[in-house]
Structure 1
């Protein structure tokens, strides 16, 4: 009887619980309006129903004097949204959507997928968006916005999200085309925000803990970025509160090697019962931590860093999400937070702040961007005052919100003096000018091609403006047996490299871009442009390229002996002699010296490492992979201000800290290469004792103590000239000076390496008069310098 009674009670409670769940789902549905624009058809995306804007709808009314419905048969970049983005509403007069709903705070999301329909070219579209007294966008050009915000992503649509306070039962969302232009919209989301997501008192960056009142509830807010740090993409149906998308963070991280992914799904709860809608628990189940605690101590300057393109002259709210997933007591993880290279918080201890392990909480900060600042930086780094054990950092999620100024969230990039003539006219003029230039270039190319013999020579004349031939995808599939995995000879940030045989029997290295790669069109174009201008025995030559069917493929001369690194460690290849190593370093130095001095401003490689030094059949060294290369500074400047790119372990600390690139940054990286060559070990090995983890640091310690020979490659012992090693080590040490001005030029490095080779030659052939004479001549040259 008791058991039966408990069973009935349990069933009753279950029914009540299910009722609450269904009521909650109904409430969420009632507070969410999803509109599929340009059609009367409904589609289902991410488990939700999107209603056509021409279909009867009590929540939203469409009104316009002039608009058309358009569609496309295919959508690139995001198959999940394909059915939603196939239709679009195009307008050349103001377009109004009137939302009927209760007053309150809402997320308004506008979806734009640009495609050309009849005479409507999305590249020529400029329009604004207004609602609730706020200007949400001004002269918005969707393709340009996509190129700026999603530059590291293959996603080719734009989603603009705004947080707006609606104070009436009927609210108009107005899309207004610029004069002589048009606009378009693919989909609209309106999501009610019941909870208070923002507070009015926010910590100010570099404000010594001071807070500022912003009246955020009445201030227009635009979501710029929302990231799931260390985790995968979180889709709208996985964020039951507000259907938010949480991106992966890797494409925004300056150096992916800086962070290690962490995951823990056990018993995570919110530190505050009022914070349950700030972010889904999925965000707090993953994190990124410093790559290695002891490594942080060794590098000192090292931080986990993320960079975000933003609009200048606005204030930004930066929300950081934290949850301690590992430690069960305080003082185990202590770090600093930097925003825009300013200290936002010190002595951050997640465990203490949250009140325990697996407790989720967030911190908000505000900072303003100046008129010439268009990159927002977030960095987490070690707390100098903490113990080695506690010198670590972690982050689970990150959101960046732009705050309106005087009700305006719109930003129009500075397009120069032509802007006053109207952007559509300017674009048309540019288009005509570009068309004329393109016709001229085509005509020029035809003339060049007619002058050529009708052969399949893969090295056309330089006068045609290309360093190589344009291959078809069919050609390259035939050369690689349809990109057979057994032919892969290397894998890098750009993609896989295949060994292939071209139709004229020439062997080639065929580098195919990975669609998920962080490197993409910019690197592809940089490589082609650079190698079309440069020719040198110690630079890898490009045979050609392929850019059809969304492929980006580069074809290089085949280097049969692979990378320098493969001959130093990690394989079963024969060990290189000391003379061979010197000759290889000299060849690489000559290639870099040519890069630095072969043009007016010079070229900075920016990714010098042993895997980018390739060896041909005669072990001649050639520098490779110029996708990250940059032109050097002009005469009136000392450096190039640019985002930090390169490889962990080789990065110039001065460049990393100041984002100021010079040719001396390559010199620092080359210094790491020199020590890697002599020691034959990886540059970063966390499994070693703390002082030995970083090769550059460890080798410098041994060099200064005069005991470098104790850590060199054992296979060299007894087979090198002590004087040669001493000369080699001295120039490597100079390359690793903390400040760029104290480092030698590549020309000076080359001269010292040649001297080290002559010392080795004299040691190998002590009675060779030619060797002695060469050494004397080199000594005289160095003395003159």
Structure 2
């Protein structure tokens, strides 16, 4: 038995060596524009002007060989990039004796060409009739790639471009044809043609969300869009003996790099199948990325990668796996999502590969509509699978674009880049003009302010607007900070620094009475423990909400003081803003921005207002989450709202959500503490049970209350309804029973009429469930809740776009059928008179 294993191993090694040698010996490497040969990266590159090589160059006399002495890059291919073949007419390279599947790589590196502006180059490339690129502008594409990296926070200095295609050659001659666009020119620095001994793709492939389909991928021709070594360093071509492929690092494509950390293990890794040896080199499987801090619930979020792709094509996504840690099945089980849809559930690398340290890959097919230009790959825990760990793992990732009707070319993206660059130039001009005008305005404002200040200094005008307004409470609480009459706005930085002087407009009581028509009850829009809220209109016609404190309510006065204190510190788009105040004749009044659409609750139930769509509900929740996230993180110690509920989430005229009512708010714990010990306050049904039991308040108490809000948004019913059966009275308890069964959709607001993405609702329910965890320490932060809600919105938007595309196709199809029926009917009518006469 031992001899048999040794013999088998030797045969595998010999077979691999033969395949590698055959691949390398039949490869063609061309240094374009060069008269001599060059050894680069361990390979011999033949100058296209030399007499060597099994190829010919057509129409060479009409083209130019260009060269440069220096380049500002550090590519391993730099010696090849110092020469190029320029063409102003059609140029072709013809290869004899090239059969089967091949990697075809085209190298482009723009450098100054004599009498030609490389930025104006534009050309197309075809391979045996398969259109590879159209109207390619290399500098634009390089600039676009650098721009995408910079948007991801990566310092990038790409100076060259490599286009890789996988092409099957089934004729005696293989012709690469380069054609300049009308009046332009093109160039090429180097060409690689590397044979694939085995087919890289299987005959059938799993379609995302569907069954396996047969596509003859190897026969179609494809372009390599991305090839990543996940969790590891860049793999150079010389390290990949079965194709000379380049593997990028993955971090620049991750949405949140901290969502996964790198692991390494280079011992005893083998391929799960002998045929897999061509799929990827072993170094790809020696590193991986796994999920960060899976022991803590709020850290259990998907690892996500986002890619720019070309609309209107089908994509093959290849994921590479190798279990490096666990020695048993069911210890790491996770889900795979592609473009916001579940591609695979209960994925167990150990089980599918056949053990630890076994290299394995899986392919998926994903069509991209003409309206989408992004592709998301996500891996996340499958908590329902009963695995020992809620983790995910990925070693490598490749994305291939498949040809459509003999075409791989796409050009709109780069036209868009040119347009954006043009817009950028216009923007620069306007910025310059604006800066000049701003300087003049700034000087004028400074002058006016100086005159204004001097005038008030002479008049010795100061007013203490909140001067010792004492409530009837036993502790004699006071509110005493100076306001500057007539001053507006200011006071709060985006990072949460707090002003020492409260800022707002000082209103006279006469102005308040005029704005509310003497507190006309017809303008009443709310009542609370603090008093009443009226709709009003101030001098300039602005609608405002005017909160009038009730001096007889000790609770109201205490909350009112807190509200003044908090609103003096806070400025955020998703927090209701205070415009000013009034403190005449024992009245204490606050003036807020008016929220035209009232409370969130009024749009969920208890009124005849039209129901919110699922997208509107998601956007409202996202806005409220942003406001709470700002409260928790915007100040040094943070602020705990303590009364999160749907009546305290207000909607403006554009349905932008804003948190309101900070009367119960509390400054968060110091950095070395986890909670604030305080008496229990809040609204029944929303109260954090841990806070209720221990009287220990933390930011996670707001998270719990927000979880109840999420369920209220889904179910559109009151959080406490005593008229319902006993098991349905408490919304949080009742809804969680259905959520844990993965049946939340059965109790959703029926007015949504199935006009929502099921995957979006699933994500929404999962984050609500995490918010309602019994222990605060395992609830997510508001930042993490916000991330998941935004993801749920992305899922819904993608679902809407897909449905619209399918609906459009269906309408067009029905229209064509109708036209056909009308035509047949017309023909029938035209023939009827003749038949009658006969």
With normalisation by structure 2, the TM-score equals: 0.54
* Mapped partners of 1:113, 1:232: distance in 2: 24
The answer to whether the aligner puts 1:281 opposite 2:307 as a matched pair is no
1:204 to 200, 204, 207: 207
Matched, 1:180 2:183: yes
Partner of 1:761: none
**Of 170-179 and 660-669, the range deviating more from structure 2:** 660-669
Q: What per-residue deviation string (whole Å, max 9, x for no partner) do you get for residues 380-413 of structure 1?
A: 1111312363321111111110000111101121
Give the Cα–Cα distance (whole angstroms) in 1 for the partners of residues 12 and 295 of structure 2. Answer: 50
Distance 1:729 1:438, change over 3 A: closer
User: What CA deviation, in whole Å up to 9, does each residue of 1:465-508 have, x standing for no partner?
Assistant: xxxxxxxxxxxxxxxxxxxxxxxxxxxxxxxxxxxxxxxxxxxx
**Aligned residue in 2 for 1:261:** 262
User: In the alignment, which of 41, 50, 58 is matched to residue 46 of structure 1?
Assistant: 41
TM-score using structure 1 length: 0.57
Partners of 2:41 and 2:629 in 1: CA distance: 46
140, 144, 148: which one aligns with 1:144: 140
Mapped pair 1:56 → 2:51: yes
CA deviations on 1:719-757 (whole Å, 9 max, x unpaired) are 9999899999699559955878999xxxxxxxxxxxxxx
CA offsets per residue over residues 606-645 of structure 1, 9 Å max, x none?
Answer: xxxxxxxxxxxxxxxxxxxxxxxxxxxxx9xxxxxxxxxx
Provide the C-alpha distance between the structure 1 equivalents of 2:54 and 2:274, rounded to a whole number of angstroms: 32
Displacement of 1:298 after TM fit? 3.7
SS in 2 for 1:171: strand
Residue 385 of structure 1 aligns to a residue whose secondary structure is: helix
Q: Does 1:98 align with 2:97?
A: no
Offset of 1:30 from its aligned partner? Answer: 1.6
What displacement does 1:593 show?
4.3
Distance 1:195 1:388, change over 3 A: closer
Describe the SS at the equivalent of 1:351: helix
**Separation in structure 1 between the aligned mates of residue 569 and residue 65 of structure 2, nearest angstrom:** 59
User: 2:304 corresponds to which residue?
Assistant: 305
Pick from 11, 31, 39 the counterpart of residue 36 of structure 1: 31
Q: 1:132–1:165: 8 Å Cα contact kept in structure 2?
A: no
Report the equivalent of 1:107.
103
For residue 290 of structure 1, report the CA deviation from its aligned partner. 1.1
CA contact (8 A) 1:200 1:213 kept: yes
Instruction: Confirm or deny that 1:405 pairs with 2:401.
Output: no
Q: Which residues in structure 2 correspond to 1:108-123 (within 5 Å)?
A: 108-123=104-119
Structure-1 residue corresponding to 2:331:
332
CA distance in 2, matches of 1:587, 1:42: 74
Q: Is the 8 A contact 2:336 2:344 kept in 1?
A: yes
- 1:556-571 aligned at under 5 Å gives the runs none
Cα gap change, 1:69 to 1:585, in 2 (>3 Å): farther
How far apart are the structure 1 equivalents of 2:81 and 2:361?
Answer: 34
When residues 447 and 674 of structure 1 are mapped into structure 2, their CA distance, relative to the original with a 3 A threshold, is closer
Q: Is the 8 A contact 1:234 1:247 kept in 2?
A: yes
Structure 2 CA distance, aligned partners of 1:42 and 1:739? 71
Query: Per the alignment, do residues 460 and 91 of structure 1 end up closer, same or farther by CA in structure 2, a change over 3 Å counting?
Result: farther
In structure 1, list runs of 5 or more residues that go unmatched.
1-14, 453-458, 464-534, 542-556, 558-580, 599-634, 636-653, 681-705, 744-785
**Whole-Å Cα distance in 1 between the matches of residues 184 and 494 of structure 2?**
47
Q: 1:373 to 1:540 in 2, by over 3 A?
A: closer
Q: Distance in 1 between matches of 2:51 and 2:286?
A: 42
Q: 1:733 to 1:434 in 2, by over 3 A?
A: closer
- 1:278 CA drift (Å): 0.6
Q: Is the 8 A contact 1:667 1:735 kept in 2?
A: no
Alignment of 1:313-392 (within 5 A): 313-387=312-386, 389-392=388-391
Aligned residues: 519
Question: In the alignment, which residue of structure 1 is the partner of 2:238?
Answer: 237
Aligned to 1:544: none
The CA deviation at 1:211 is 0.6
Q: How far apart are the structure 2 equivalents of 1:378 and 1:160?
A: 22
Q: Residue 317 and residue 20 in structure 1: after superposition, are their counterparts in 2 closer, same or farther (change >3 A)?
A: closer
SS of residue in 2 equivalent to 1:80 = coil
Give the Cα separation in 1 of the matches to 2:621 and 2:163. Answer: 33
- CA distance in structure 2 between the partners assigned to 1:78 and 1:385 by the alignment: 49
Query: Residue 131 of structure 2 aligns with which residue?
Result: 135
1:670 pairs with one of 616, 630, 640: 630
Match of 1:220 in 2: 221
CA distance in 2, matches of 1:584, 1:158: 58
The alignment partner of 1:143 has SS state of helix
What SS does the aligned partner of 2:344 have? Answer: strand
Q: Is the 8 A contact 1:665 1:740 kept in 2?
A: no
Deviation at 1:439, TM superposition (A): 8.0
In 2, the alpha carbon distance for the partners of 1:154 and 1:202 equals: 37
Cα offset for 1:60? Answer: 2.3
Q: Distance in 2 between matches of 1:664 and 1:287?
A: 37
SS at match of 1:164: strand
- Mapped to 2, the partners of 1:121 and 1:410 lie a distance apart of 24
Shift of 1:98: 1.1
